[in-house]
Amino acid sequence: MDGDTLYSIGELAKRTGLTVKTVRFYSDRGIVVPAGRSPAGYRLYSIDAVARLDLVRTLRELGLDLPTIRRVVDRELSLPEVAAAHAEALAVQIRVLGLRRAVLTAVAERGSTPEETELMHRLAQLSE
């Protein structure tokens, strides 16, 4: 693939490992923009679209939402800034899940009553 060649949605999908439907979805939302149109009116994309879609796919796999991804690829937000915020949010979720796991483990091991379970849950919420 060279920098002057334009690629169809199908070729772009094959290159990025995304489906044609997904590429079209991102295109319709302006996340990846066609560089032109074929004589028949089909969208054509430059090599830059491959890198952009690779980044979008990676960020989606890491759990980022599309509005945030759009701001990153449009350079309205820096990637390190977004990564730090999402890493902190995950750390909070991990702490909460750890507390929930501890309560459920205690309930399972002790054979707790519903009342004891509710009390342990409330105590765990206080420590959150």
pTM of the model: 0.75
Tell me if 2 is assigned to some domain: no
Mean pLDDT, residues 61-66 taken together: 94
Q: What is the pLDDT of residues 1-56, one digit of tens each?
A: 456 889 999 999 999 999 999 999 999 999 999 999 999 999 999 999 999 999 99
**pLDDT score recorded for residue 63:** 93
**pLDDT score recorded for residue 2:** 57
Residues 84 and 72 in one domain: no
In total, how many domains does the chain have? 2
Is residue 111's pLDDT more than 80? yes
**pLDDT score recorded for residue 3:** 62
**Residue range(s) defining the domain that contains residue 24:** 9-77
Tell me if 114 is assigned to some domain: yes
**pLDDT score recorded for residue 110:** 85
Residue 106 contacts residue 112 (beta carbons within 8 Å):
yes
Using the structure block, give the residue that is written with the tokens 């032109």.
36
Residues 100 and 113 in one domain: yes
Tell me if 107 is assigned to some domain: yes
Residues 70 and 22 in one domain: yes
Mean pLDDT of the chain: 90
Residues 31 and 49 in one domain: yes
Tell me, rounded to whole angstroms, the distance of Cα 46 from its chain centroid. Answer: 24
Tell me if 3 is assigned to some domain: no
Residues 56 and 99 in one domain: no
**pLDDT score recorded for residue 1:** 45
Q: Which amino acid is at 90?
A: L
Residues 33 and 69 in one domain: yes
Residues 89 and 119 in one domain: yes
Length of the chain in terms of residues written: 128
